[in-house]
Structure 1
């Protein structure tokens, strides 16, 4: 009897729950954390350790390694293709993709000026630095979101639903930044605010992700804009925007169905029992 050919799926969205991915990201980050403690290069945007510009690629590296192991080169090509696929992102969703972070940091800046709140300031950056960091932050966003959005988001949602999956991913995402956050000199208040900001920002991004047909490209752009906004709005460190980000995230949680984040609470699914993100 002749065995029939078996086609190996290359869609990384069909992979099982991604705990090996999180473990591999952690292992890849350890040398970056050690290097960050040993190398001091002050004056970078957000007071970030220089090794952060290497650490940002660890999620993509982990995703590529695990995808290659499971699906070979075809799977890796599919993963990369998702990072550049703009289909499914309606024009209306480009508003939060492009304007969410500038809005958050501009409002936070105004509130800080009105209330007189003072937190750890960031190194001042000129416009030339801003322009130089556009491609840097775009590459770093690719390095992160091919892993977080392209590899991990959908398996987590299948296990726990959109809301709980995004909260879990946001918590891990923040934990992986803690050594760099501490290294940047932030105090306990900013660390706590940053935790809220990271977790709820991931909720907002998963909300965008699900409503754009699972567009990794849209989240790469949103991540790039977020890094630029948090680096160059005067005197507003990333964590300072945490309360406003949390407020927006809570609004999404209150209004949208937690199973999918694609329809309002109480709205009937187009198909009975269908809780998959669309």
Structure 2
């Protein structure tokens, strides 16, 4: 136990990524092999809320980033580290302008980018707005809670001091995207019709979204709730509102739309912040964050 704790303490960031990938991929293996994936095992995941992802994907998500971040923080930094980690998670008290900007900015950006891809367009109805609000809450306690305490609350504060805001963010974005790769062999990723180009678009989109999320995270003084809302707003718009507002759009264009919208936002932020993305290196560190 002491040897394991010492190894985690020396290499907390590497330990986190190994655990996050290993635990999630192990938990996703039955889903990948099932009839909802490669079809190698005669197992069908039940449809809940219109999808098999609730039991196929969510357990692995919870076992990955959030659990790995908790375990590594506890082993490497003890109670002071856990308080710091949890403090970012509980940092809700930020300006209302950030909430408004994220809640409105994400769907507006994605809607504007979608316009050229659909000959038929509809404004959101009252019922759609209601479903969107419910979906956002659901996404916060599923995708947001499962992933962001790991990616943005643990990994990003380790990566930025060592690699800088831009390089650290791109590295995180690519790893974040790669974490999803087994799911492309399931219904989640559109298997068996998934194209290699779609996977590439997804990975680049993750890097672009990460650039926007890093800027928001840094400018809100490391508020994880705002980062979670940004992440879940992307998922929620594409799953709840997108096809209702743009019924003539091709489903295959979803990843391209994400790529265009967030690449444009990322380029603007990189130019206006000169690549700093709002990051200010701390004068002192409570822990050694540069260990990998």
TM-score (ref. length: structure 2): 0.72
Structure 2 CA distance for partners of 1:86 and 1:128, relative to 1, 3 Å:
closer
Instruction: For 1:155-194, list aligned pairs within 5 A.
Output: 155-183=158-186, 184-185=189-190, 186-194=194-202
Counterpart for residue 209 of structure 2: 201
Structure 2 CA distance for partners of 1:194 and 1:25, relative to 1, 3 Å:
same
2:227 aligns with one of 209, 219, 230: 219
Counterpart for residue 121 of structure 1: none
Q: State yes or no: 1:142 paired with 2:145.
A: yes
Q: State yes or no: 1:239 paired with 2:255.
A: yes
Counterpart for residue 16 of structure 2: 21
Report the CA distance between 1:175 and its aligned residue.
Answer: 0.4
Would the aligned equivalents of 1:56 and 1:144 in 2 still touch at CA under 8 Å? yes
Report the CA distance between 1:86 and its aligned residue.
Answer: 2.1
Tell me how many residue pairs correspond in the alignment: 244
Report the CA distance between 1:181 and its aligned residue.
Answer: 3.0
Counterpart for residue 229 of structure 1: 237
Alignment RMSD: 3.2
SS in 2 for 1:18: helix
Counterpart for residue 272 of structure 1: none
Structure 2 CA distance for partners of 1:109 and 1:24, relative to 1, 3 Å:
same
1:71 aligns with one of 70, 77, 88: 77
TM-score (ref. length: structure 1): 0.75
Report the CA distance between 1:192 and its aligned residue.
Answer: 2.2
Mapped to 1, the partners of 2:107 and 2:206 lie a distance apart of: 16
Mapped to 2, the partners of 1:182 and 1:104 lie a distance apart of: 29
Q: State yes or no: 1:256 paired with 2:264.
A: no
Would the aligned equivalents of 2:153 and 2:224 in 1 still touch at CA under 8 Å? yes
Counterpart for residue 107 of structure 2: 102
Structure 2 CA distance for partners of 1:208 and 1:30, relative to 1, 3 Å:
same
Would the aligned equivalents of 2:48 and 2:54 in 1 still touch at CA under 8 Å? no
Report the CA distance between 1:46 and its aligned residue.
Answer: 8.5
Would the aligned equivalents of 1:196 and 1:243 in 2 still touch at CA under 8 Å? no
Would the aligned equivalents of 1:46 and 1:231 in 2 still touch at CA under 8 Å? no
Mapped to 1, the partners of 2:216 and 2:133 lie a distance apart of: 26
1:122-159: CA deviation from partner (whole Å, max 9, x where unpaired):
xxxx8887565433311120221111111110110001
Mapped to 1, the partners of 2:262 and 2:52 lie a distance apart of: 21
Mapped to 2, the partners of 1:181 and 1:129 lie a distance apart of: 27
Mapped to 2, the partners of 1:46 and 1:197 lie a distance apart of: 23
Report the CA distance between 1:29 and its aligned residue.
Answer: 1.2
Structure number with higher helix proportion: 2
Would the aligned equivalents of 2:25 and 2:182 in 1 still touch at CA under 8 Å? no
